[in-house]
Every structure is written in C-alpha cells, then in structure tokens.
Structure 1
Amino acid sequence: MGNSQQSRFSPDFHIPYGTQQASQEGDAGAYFGSRRMPSVKYQKGDMVMGRWPGSSLYYEVKVLSFDTKSQLYTVIYKDGTELELKEQDIKNPAGFQTRTRSRSRSRSPGRRRSRSRSPARTTRRSSSRTAAAVAAAAITESAPTTRRDARLKEAIEVRLSSLDQTKPAENNSNNKHEKKEENNTANKVDEVEAEPEKNQSRYNLRRRKDDGDAKEAEAKPEQLEEKEAKPAAPPSAATTPLDFGGKIGAYFWLLFLPAWVLFVILQVNLEDPSLANFPPPVPPLETFWDGQALGFVILWILFQALLYILPVGKLSEGMPLRSGQRLKYRTNGFFAIVLSSVAVAAAAYQGVDLTYIHSHFLQLAVATFLISVLLSVYLYVRSRYAAPEHLALGGNSGNVVYDFFKGHELNPRIKNFDLKFFCEMRPGLIGWCLINFAMALAEMKQQGLDAPSHSMILVNIFQLLYVVDGLWNEEAILTTMDLMHDGFGFMLAFGDLVWVPFTYTLQAYYLVSHPNPLSLPAVAAIITLKLGGFYIFRKSNSEKNAFRRNPADPKLSHLKTIPTATGKSLLVSGWWGVVRHPNYLGDLIMALAWSLPCGFSHLLPWYYMIYFIILLVHRDSRDMSECRRKYGSAWDEYCRTVRYRIIPRVY
C-alpha cells in the first residue's frame, strides 16, 4: 500500500506509493549491456588500483561501471563496498611493484600517522584500525581461493611523490549517532538510506568476518612503488541481471497480467463467484468493446493531466540520478483529488448516472488496457533515441520484449511533463476512488437501499483515506523504487492504469452483488485494526523520509544507526528497529481491514490480501540481494541487529 508512497504494482506489482520503498536508492552496479565506450580508459571488469578517499593509500579494486556524464568510475572493494572515483584516483596495477618490509617496521595503514591516513580514519584509534583492516582486503580473483589464502590478502600502501596527501574526510555521523538507511524499498529494501550532505566525504568500513584476522593484515603489509604503466586488459562481456523470470518471464507476465484482470472481473460477476465455478464463462467478443467507455477513459486521463500541469502546489525536487541531476516534479496530487471530487459531485448533481461504471466495468477495463499498451509502445520507441544516461539499468538488457516490459527509459518526459510520475499517482489512483464511489451507488440501486451498507462504507472510507494520504504526502514517492530505479514500460504503465483501479476495487465490486451485513461490534473492531495499521504505516514512512532527506536534522539526533562504507547509514531506530520493513507491516494490516468487511463466504475478495503478501515477500528478497551488494558487511550487521523482515517474531 502506499507510502508516502510507492507504487503498488510492479510484478513487484504495484504498491501505490507506500510499501515500495525504495528503498533502494538505486545505485545499480553494472553499466548497461556490453557496450564499450572508446574514450573510457578503464573498462568494466578491470582490476585496478584505486586511491581511498581522504588518503594516499591505493587498494586493489574491480571496475563496475563508468558514468559518462559525471566522469566517475564505480569500483568495488573485497568487502562489497562500492565507491565512485575520478580517473586520476585510479592507477594501472602494472604501474606498481611490490616490496615487502620487515615485520618490525610494518604497520597497518591505520597506524601510520606521519605519512598517510587510513580509510575512514577517525580520532579514535580503534576505529581506524578496524577500517584499515577492512579496506586492506583485495578483490578476490575469479579462481576460487581458500579461507587461509583470503586471510593473506594484505594492506597495500602506495607512496607517490606526485600525490598530495589529503586531509581526513568529514565525519558522516549525526551528532553522536552515525546516519543509517532504512531497509525498504526500496522498498529494497525497505531500505532507509540517508542522503549524504554535499560537504560530507568521510567513508566508513567494517571488516567482514571471512576477510581474515585484522592482526594478520597489520603484521604483513606490502609497500608498492609506481613503475611504468601498461595498457589495461580488455573488459569481459557485461550482462545485465534480469528480474521477474528474465526474458521468458517477460513473455509470461505480458500474457498473464491482462488475463488475470479479465478473470477476476468475470468471476466476481457470477452469482456464485466460488472458485468451484472456475473458469467463468467467456462472453461474446463484442461485449468486450464499447466506444463510449474508451471515450470516458480518455476524457478522465486528459482531465487529470490538466490538473497536473496547473501551476498549483509545490515544485518538488527528486533524488539525485546517476548523473547527479535532480528532476523537478509538480506535487499537487491532493489538489487534484479535491477538484476531481468536486467534478464528480457536480456530475452526480446534474443527473449523470455513475452506475454506468459498474455496468460497463469490463468494457472500461479493456479500454484502459488498450491505452496502456499504446502508451507502452510509445515509451519503448522513444527510449530507442534516449541518451545512455537516461536509460534504466534494469531495463537495458538488449532483449526487446524484456526491455518493453520492464521499461527502457528511466524518466521519460515531454518537456516538463513527467509521464511516469503522472501515471503513478493520478489517473489510476484517483480513479480507484471514483470507481469505489460508483460501486456504492450501484449497491444502493441493486439492493434497494437508501444508503450504502456498513461493509461498503468501510471499504470506501478505508481506501479513500489510503489514497488521500498518499496524495497529501505525494513528495515522498520521489524516494521510492519505482521513481528512482525502475524504467517506465509496460509493467508500470499497465500497473498504474489497469491493475490498480480494476483490481484494488474488487472488494467494493464484490459487495454490490454479494452483501455482507456487519454488527456494530464487528465494525468497531475492523476500524480499530485499520487505524492501528495506518499508524504504523504513516509513522514508519515519516521516519524514513525525514531521515533520508536530512539526516543531520537535530530532531533526529537520537536515532541509532549503522554506518556504511558508502558514507551513508542504515536506520535502526523507531519502527525501523522493530522490523526491516515496518511500512510493509502497516500495509498488510490495512489490507486485512479492507478484506474483512467482505466476510469469509468466498476467497475472491481476499485476493488482494493474498496477492499483497506474495508481492511483499518478492520485494523483500529483491531488496535483500541489492542491499547486500551495495552495503557489504554493514548490511550483515544490520540484519543481525534487526532480525525480522516484516512481521515481528514471525517473518
């Protein structure tokens, strides 16, 4: 569900604004595909010597990618730490020769005071020793090595007369506490990552257990001297990790998702929607199409686009992209839903029959699906002409079908009109509330009621509160996985425009023909459950967003964090110290409150709850692998500190 909110779809599939999180603050490692940049000195896969920020020490690192716009190389150290270095801070290994020193004179980089400073050195000697021992570990070669061999990897110190010794970097901690990231979402995780301040340059490292004993590294350091450089070896073939079953999975999802939406709509229309009556009968083909329904959908999208471009509301700044650029977004979603409500009320007052939405639900879904397909085709075609730095790392596999599904371009825009941001929060999300309202009117008409039933009222109010909360906190979606990492293709276009409005309204659609009376005690219990879930959801998202945007805020000085080698921190305070994804927990509780008003006669209205559990478990596994790659040993420490992922003492 939404977070300040995330996208509720994504076969990761859509979690409108909320649970997603994004964690992940997306720093993908590999450069897209296998394309080579002729002007790049070092290529992906090269083993080179990288100068540690804030010191004159060089360590063996592996090149992961090169950003043509920022002119920075992303490199990885043995403990999993990834940093960005300038070309002048990287040397060819052939330019160094090893010279061992006697044991009596050897000192770890962290203990040498007069000549150089160790990585992540602080005023406390114990911290500098630990950091030096970690940074000393070299990248393991492709051939397997034994644990004993790994321990013999030693600190490498370089003396270069041409290099000026830099001053120690600034501490990236908040008062006495080091900043941390939330686990998203991501949500990645629900990863809660603090955005580093521009003047911060300190890096922290924590040694992994399997990197060997720190004392051994201290006892046998090697000193390197620069010699004549040799040309770098050609890079190895690059591949892009694929999600959702890879290329075959893309074909599956392209067929399954539309089929599933049609199934739930046809099944819920049955007098007895029990799964024993599966599959539902398929109506004649002509019943799937209605030109008036298509016109209604187009009019609705254009109306929302008009509200989006109005110069009303805050102009918010997004998170930094790989290029360092920050896009601006018009976050006036709350204004849009208020004006939409006024327009719908005026239409109802003028006698417009909104129950048309219920009676033509199938035709409206098909029309919206057609629009999502056309939009996806347009997005893919225009992405073929986009600059490399504008492409999404995860949607740049080179396979047409997969890239079409996952999204090839990260932030497609028509001038200042951001297509992904608009679709995430406007037509489908506000349309969700419009459909629910139409279902309440249809229930009154079909059941001969003077007012909607208690069950229908609860479903409408609960889901309206969820959407309004997301639009009120619309700026928070800018830190989510969908906006920061996922490209805009069929997955998100279909999820935003079709999946959300035509499957999240299933409870209200079900209640029109299958009423479920509730007693007042049952109503009170369901409301209490909903409020509890909403509190956890909103509180955890507020903690995450405040910490991520300004970890140096004095109001956050009490928070406990775990430092990472990237200069950022992982948050382990508040709800983020209870489970790794507290916003997911709140989302699940709210989903339960949405389903309970429908009773237990049929499984179909519980589809959302079941789907959501699967979605969150998948997203959690995706977050875990990304965070472990990104934060190395700091992530292992975080997992030991916060043991449970979503449900305390259960999972």
Structure 2
Amino acid sequence: MPQAGPTLPEASTFLIGRQTVDRFLKMPSRKFADGEVVRGRWPGSSLYYEVEILSHDSNSQLYNVKYKDGTELELKESDIKPLTSFRQRKSGSTSSSPSRRRGSRSRSRSRSPGRLPKGSRRSASASYQADLKEARKEAKKDMLEVKLTPLVLKPFGNSINRYNGEPELIERNDIPHKNTQEKFHLSQESSYIPTQYSLRARREEIKLKEVDLKEETVVTKRPALLRTSEVTATQSKDLEFGGVPGVFLIMLGLPAFLFLLLLMCKQKEPSLLNFPPPLPALGDLWETRVFGAYLLWFLLQALFHLLPIGKVVEGTPLTNGRRLKYRLNGFYAFILTSALVGACFFWNVELYYVYHHFLQFALAAVVFAMGLSVYLYARALKAPQDELSPASSGNAIYDFFIGRELNPRIGTFDLKYFCELRPGLIGWVVINLVMLLAEMKEQNRAAPSLAMILVNSFQLLYVVDALWNEEALLTTMDIIHDGFGFMLAFGDLVWVPFIYSFQAFYLVSHPNELSWPMASLIIALKLCGFVIFRCANSQKNAFRKNPTDPRLAHLKTIHTSTGKNLLVSGWWGFVRHPNYLGDLIMALAWSLPCGFNHILPYFYVIYFTILLVHREARDEHHCRKKYGLAWEKYCQRVPYRIFPCIY
C-alpha cells in the first residue's frame, strides 16, 4: 500500500547519478565496472574474446582483464566492447580464449595491449591471413543460416545484457585490409556461447549483407512486440503481493479491515472481548449527500492543480524516450485549501459534520476509488504498448490491482500524479483539524489537549514538507514503475486520509493527559526522525540533480556499468534506507501521545514497518537485477538495510 508524501515507494532507494568526473581521485571516469563481462580484443589481431574486468589503473587508464583460460592482459578502453555490440554466428567453431586457438596454455600478463604474451608468436598479419582463410570456407555455410533474434545473454558475470535488435557496427582501424567488414550474429540458444570476430572476403560479405538487411528489416518492424513479449514473460514469473490470489484477497480485505478499525476505534472500551464491534446497517453507511461532498472535494483539488501557478518540470525518461511534464503547485493548493477552511470558520460552517459522518465519508471514498480503478483499467486496454507499466503482467486481476497504464492522462492532467499528493494528503490535514474540533466538543474542552496538538503539529509538518519537496515524487517507484490501478487509487484516496489520521480519531473518544516532560521526549524523538528523514532525502535529491556538485565532493560512490553511481557514504553509508529509518521514528512519535492503554493507535507503526520492509525488498530485487556485481559490492559496504545493527 502506498504512503503519503516523500515516503512513497522509491525505484532506487540508494542514490544514483551520472558522473563524468571522478570526484575523489580527480581522474577521468571509467566506462566499465570491475567484474563486468565484456569483449576484449586480442593484441595484434582483430579477434574479440569474452573477458572479465579485474581492475582499472587510473594513471595509465588501462583495464586489467582476464580471459576464460586464465590469461590476464592490460587493454585500452578502445580495445574493449560491451557484449551487446556483437552478433554471433549460429554455426561454426568458436573458441573461448585466444590461447586455445593459438595452441598456447600459458597464463601470462602483458603490460601493453599491443604486445602478445609468451607462447603466441604469430604476427598480426599472419593471424589475419589464417582467420581470413577460415572465414572464406565458412562464408557459404553461414550465409544461409544468418538469423537475427533478440536474446538474453548469460555470461559468467552477474550482469545481464539484452540485445535490442539494432546491431552496432564496429570499425577496425588496426587491420591493414580495406576489403573486410566485421559481422556478428546472435544464435537462438538460450545460453551464451563465446564468439569472436569473423573475417570474410568482400564478395561473401556483400551477399551476407543482403541477407542481414532483410532480417534486420523484419526485426525493425516488430521491436515493440518483441520487447513486450520479453517483459510479459519476465513479469509472469515474478508477480508481487502473492500473485493473483494475493492481490484478490487484498482488494477484498482492505475495505473490510478499514471499517473494522474505525468501528473499533469508536468503541468506549475496544478489546478482544468486544470483537467484532457492532456492525451498522448498510443504509446507515451510505448517504448521497456525503458522496456529493467527497466528489466536490476531489474536483476542487483538481481545479487547484490546473491553475497556471508553480514551475513546470520534466519527469524521468520513459521506455519510449519521452519525458512527461509536471506542474509543481501542491504547496500552493495547500495554501488555497487553508484559506478555504479559514473562510468556513468565518462563515460558521459546521466542520463537525465530517466527524459525525466519518464512516459515510470513508465508504464514499471507497466507492469513488473503486469506480476510478474500473475506469483506469478500461482505458488502459486501448493504451499503446510503450505506455504500459513495467509492473503489468497481462493478467486482468493482477493488472487491475497494480495498474496497467503507467501514466494515464486526460490531456495534460496526469491522474496518478494528482492523486498521489492532493486529495488524500491535504485531506489528511483537514481531517486532523476536524478531529481536534470534535475532541473539544465531545469532551467539553475550552482548548484541545496537548496530545491532540502534538499529533496535529507532527503530521502537519510532515504534509507541508512533502508538498514543499513535491519534485522528489517524480523519482519514486509509484511514478516510474507501478501503474495506476486499485493499489494506488485506494491507497491515495482512502488509506492515507482515513488511516493516517487514526491517532487523532482515536483521541476524540479516548483522551490521554500528557505531561510536559513526556511531551518533551516525544518532541525530541520526532525532531530526530525528521532530521534523519529530511537530511537523507535532501542529500539524495542533490546528488541526483548534480553528482559533480562541489558540496558533495566528500561523498563516496561505487561506479556501475550503467553509467550511474551508487552513493555509499554520508547518510546513505549509515544504512541503505536512512529515509525509511527516519520515517519509522516519526511514526512512533505520532503514536506515543495516545498513551499505552490500547494497541489501536500503534496500528500505524506496525503497518508502516511491514510496508517499508516489503518496499525495501522490492527495491533490493530491482536493483540487484539492474546493477549486478556493483550492487553486491554496495551491499557489502552498507550491510544494514533500515535498522543499524538489526536489519
């Protein structure tokens, strides 16, 4: 279930950023990461073999690589190519290391990429002539067997590379022959077979080029279909939340559980002996006027969102290369809402009505969220393939829950982005204020209790901070990965306003007199959590915007083969998710003013802990798959996930 504000799911809870200058050694950046599996050119020839990057010398700018037979050499960056640059021959003999082909078993180390190791004495010219002769023999056989097929390569390293159907042409400047051209072909085998450059005579290459052009035309016409098939096949094996049965039970159970909690909270003596609480008649839960009031609230926030105030920013690049634009005016919408609430006080509007019909408002929100989810799924059936969510699976029930379309928009109005911070988050603050007024009326108080003031103040600070830092939402998992379906619609519009305000709702019927010494300790705990939360998020956002910022020069990173860096110092060297740690500390501070008479006000802390642990596991899974060996090194450097020395 999503959460409000800056604690919404983050696709990368560690910190990543593009970096063109090594900010620690002041040396040029490297292209390949340690442990990455690539292709290295054998010195003096045009042959490329599968190698593993061992290390990088920042002074000489040479890579120390290891071939599969154990040979270690130092190569220039220009002599190293990524695996995705190659297409391999479907048939024909291949060798996994250059020393096997040359009859040499020696493991030697060359200090220059231009010098052959001991045991290999053939000149580049002799090697070229021999390979050319062999290539001519195989040309006719290969010519009829060329087939370009996207495939997932599985080298002996941890990173997984996908060929995207667009061959990369490699120019060779080190072979003194102008009538040769290099071609690489992918086989249909599911496992990766080490291959090398194949050298062919000009006549054979002309024929092969004609065959390749035909095959590439077929692949080019259907790239979206192939990518969609790969994504669907992968995700069908990796459904979250317990798969289809799990999400089905969640959709049935969450509304029932919500009303159960609210009914128990209204009891004077909530306990297991009084469980389940008396259930009201269905007619008492539904009121058309209440549903109209909720609909008016939603439309009012939508109007505030459409106002041409606030800056416009671009989101993260989508799979089709587009970057959607978003208007950041959530804080202005909060100011306008506050002014409207103030006007209600001035006009003597009875806000106590919301507390008296709280269950009816909750049911109205559930009905609206369900109707919105149906609309979202129906419109997603006509959405183009490149606009679907990476989390969608093709199963109707699962996609209804997780969301099929990634960024559903009506014109320029982004439905998911709007619902994330506006109706539910701002509604949470309004409900808290209503509960403060209800406490004064129900308990005949001239002023609200200290416990109610602390709860309102703590959660108001949290919401204002989220709206002030609205741009951070654009890099969360909600926006860049999950679609907009029942999960986010119910979470944003129902769960956030009616569960996150649970402490204030509890205090209306169960007052707790709080002493000032105890209040001081709770305030200190809240500030501690907020400092951790805000400083960690600020450091993350600054690094994402500009990794070369001089103010961040003291931070340490781990380079990855994607061109991004993992931040492993500062707040993010303490635990992998310091923002989650700060969030949980603040959640505890929200519950403590309610006292220790019942576990009900601590439900939020328990639920929130489970939510963040589950979210951290999702992040871990995505990042391990994306960054491979670099992510393992990151986990070694920062072993604890959320709680230092515990978890």
User: Which TM-score applies when normalising by structure 1?
Assistant: 0.72
Change (3 A) 1:161 1:245: closer
The match for 1:40 is none
Q: Deviations over 1:443-489 (max 9, x none)?
A: 00010111110000000000000000000000011011101100000
Q: Deviations over 1:386-405 (max 9, x none)?
A: 1101000212x121111001
Q: Deviations over 1:51-97 (max 9, x none)?
A: 789x9957599xxxxxxxxxxxxxxxx9xxxxxx9999341332774
- Give 1:17 shift: 2.5
- In the aligned structure 2, how far is the partner of 1:110 from the partner of 1:627? 36
Pairwise CA RMSD: 3.5
Query: Structure 1 counterpart of 2:102, which letter?
Result: R
SS in 2 for 1:580: coil
Query: Structure 2 counterpart of 1:487, which letter?
Result: G
The answer to whether structure 1 residue 294 and structure 2 residue 283 are counterparts is: no
- In the aligned structure 2, how far is the partner of 1:506 from the partner of 1:553? 42
- Give 1:628 shift: 1.2
The match for 2:12 is 23
1:23-422 → structure 2 map (5 Å cutoff): 23=12, 57=48, 89-94=85-90, 97-98=93-94, 100-103=101-104, 112-113=113-114, 139=154, 163-165=170-172, 224-225=197-198, 238-240=233-235, 241-395=238-392, 397-422=393-418
SS in 1 for 2:327: strand
- Give 1:553 shift: 2.0
Structure showing greater Rg: 2
Change (3 A) 1:113 1:293: farther
- In the aligned structure 1, how far is the partner of 2:199 from the partner of 2:619? 41
Query: Structure 2 counterpart of 1:381, which letter?
Result: A
The match for 1:154 is none
SS in 2 for 1:263: helix
Change (3 A) 1:590 1:381: same
Change (3 A) 1:335 1:371: same
Q: Deviations over 1:119-174 (max 9, x none)?
A: xxxxxxxxxxxxxxxxxxx8259xxxxxxxx99xxxxxxxx99731599xxxxxxx
SS in 2 for 1:316: strand
SS in 2 for 1:103: coil
SS in 2 for 1:98: coil
The match for 1:542 is 538
Change (3 A) 1:104 1:140: closer
- In the aligned structure 2, how far is the partner of 1:524 from the partner of 1:380? 49
- Give 1:623 shift: 1.5
- In the aligned structure 1, how far is the partner of 2:616 from the partner of 2:15? 15
Query: Structure 2 counterpart of 1:394, which letter?
Result: A
- In the aligned structure 1, how far is the partner of 2:102 from the partner of 2:569? 46
Change (3 A) 1:222 1:313: closer
Query: Structure 2 counterpart of 1:635, which letter?
Result: W
Q: Deviations over 1:379-418 (max 9, x none)?
A: 10110111101000212x1211110010000000111101
Query: Structure 2 counterpart of 1:491, which letter?
Result: M
- In the aligned structure 1, how far is the partner of 2:492 from the partner of 2:343? 26
SS in 1 for 2:631: helix
SS in 2 for 1:570: strand
- In the aligned structure 2, how far is the partner of 1:86 from the partner of 1:559? 29
- Give 1:566 shift: 1.1
The match for 2:469 is 473
- In the aligned structure 1, how far is the partner of 2:47 from the partner of 2:323? 32
The match for 2:632 is 636
Match 2:622 to one of 616, 619, 626: 626
1:406-485 → structure 2 map (5 Å cutoff): 406-485=402-481
Change (3 A) 1:25 1:481: farther
SS in 2 for 1:335: helix
- 8 Å Cα contact 1:50/1:89 also seen in 2: no
- 8 Å Cα contact 1:98/1:225 also seen in 2: no
SS in 1 for 2:584: helix
- 8 Å Cα contact 1:274/1:603 also seen in 2: no
Structure 1 stretches of 5 or more lacking a match?
Answer: 1-9, 28-48, 62-77, 79-84, 116-137, 142-149, 152-159, 168-220
SS in 2 for 1:326: coil
Q: Deviations over 1:567-591 (max 9, x none)?
A: 1111011110000000000000000
SS in 1 for 2:233: coil
Query: Structure 2 counterpart of 1:561, which letter?
Result: T
Change (3 A) 1:408 1:161: closer
Change (3 A) 1:515 1:88: closer
Query: Structure 1 counterpart of 2:298, which letter?
Result: I
Change (3 A) 1:57 1:363: farther
- 8 Å Cα contact 2:312/2:325 also seen in 1: yes
- In the aligned structure 2, how far is the partner of 1:595 from the partner of 1:307? 32
SS in 1 for 2:391: helix
Change (3 A) 1:96 1:525: farther
The match for 1:203 is none
Change (3 A) 1:114 1:431: farther
- Give 1:565 shift: 1.4
- 8 Å Cα contact 1:535/1:586 also seen in 2: yes
The match for 1:581 is 577
- 8 Å Cα contact 1:50/1:90 also seen in 2: no
User: Identity across aligned pairs (percent)?
Assistant: 53
Match 1:599 to one of 592, 595, 598: 595
Change (3 A) 1:326 1:96: farther
- In the aligned structure 1, how far is the partner of 2:110 from the partner of 2:277? 71
Query: Structure 2 counterpart of 1:101, which letter?
Result: R
Structure 2 stretches of 5 or more lacking a match?
Answer: 17-36, 53-67, 69-80, 96-100, 117-152, 159-166, 175-193, 201-207, 220-225
Deviates more, 1:473-482 or 1:322-331: 322-331
SS in 2 for 1:458: helix
SS in 2 for 1:593: helix
The answer to whether structure 1 residue 518 and structure 2 residue 519 are counterparts is: no
SS in 1 for 2:90: helix
- Give 1:278 shift: 1.6
Query: Structure 2 counterpart of 1:497, which letter?
Result: L
- 8 Å Cα contact 1:412/1:420 also seen in 2: yes
SS in 2 for 1:448: coil
- In the aligned structure 2, how far is the partner of 1:26 from the partner of 1:548? 7
Q: Deviations over 1:201-243 (max 9, x none)?
A: xxxxxxxxxxxxxxxxxxxx98542576898999999241211
Query: Structure 1 counterpart of 2:170, which letter?
Result: L
- 8 Å Cα contact 2:623/2:631 also seen in 1: yes
- 8 Å Cα contact 1:459/1:597 also seen in 2: yes
The match for 1:75 is none
Change (3 A) 1:542 1:58: farther
- In the aligned structure 1, how far is the partner of 2:486 from the partner of 2:47? 48
- 8 Å Cα contact 1:56/1:164 also seen in 2: no
Query: Structure 2 counterpart of 1:531, which letter?
Result: L
- Give 1:102 shift: 3.8
- Give 1:266 shift: 0.9
- 8 Å Cα contact 2:88/2:195 also seen in 1: no
- Give 1:320 shift: 1.3
Match 2:3 to one of 14, 34, 58: 14
- 8 Å Cα contact 2:39/2:82 also seen in 1: no
- 8 Å Cα contact 2:40/2:51 also seen in 1: no
- In the aligned structure 2, how far is the partner of 1:565 from the partner of 1:108? 25
Count of aligned positions: 505
Larger relative contact order (Cα-Cα within 8 Å, sequence gap ≥ 6): 1
SS in 2 for 1:329: strand
- In the aligned structure 2, how far is the partner of 1:430 from the partner of 1:293? 18
